[in-house]
Amino acid sequence: MQASYYKINRGGDITYHGPGQLVGYPILDLDHFFPDIHKYLRFLEEVFIKVMSDYGLKGERSPGETGVWLDVGSPNARKICALGVRASRWVTMHGWAFNVNTDLNYFNYIVPCGIADKEVTSLAKELGREVDIAEVEAKAKRYFQEVFSVELIASESLT
């Protein structure tokens, strides 16, 4: 396995970005929404909780741990969506990595998000099958628009 390390200035600890993930770095001026970074993070989490629901999975928030999880509060708790954001003058940078068909072996070489006692999972692992990432992207866009009450008028897929 080969991976490169890049130090960046954003919230959160080390994470992995690679094939099979849906990664999004929205650039929003929160002055036009709400000047509250914690609320922004909860809204991003809500987008992926809704996406997971479409696949019959119960995405949850874990108290004190940003991101989207499964089986919170159990010994089997696992993270499926990492969030790491930064804002400057209320303009957001960075964003999320939602594990869709991700090779989870890469996470064996890091302590994802600085959380050593919990596993990382993917949509494919949870469903027992590969998932069409374009379908997941479409759902994420739809729920992003719904949760943030915006209309995305131009976007390009990088998948």
Do 51 and 45 contact (CB within 8 A), yes or no? no
- Cα gap 70→62, rounded to integer Å: 9
Q: Is 113 a catalytic residue?
A: yes
Do 130 and 58 contact (CB within 8 A), yes or no? no
- Cα gap 54→140, rounded to integer Å: 11
- Cα gap 41→141, rounded to integer Å: 16
Helix (H/G/I), strand (E/B), else coil: 106: helix
Q: What values do phi and psi take at 133, rounded to 5?
A: -65, -30
Marked catalytic residue, from 51, 52, 100, 113:
113
**Catalytic residue IDs:** 113
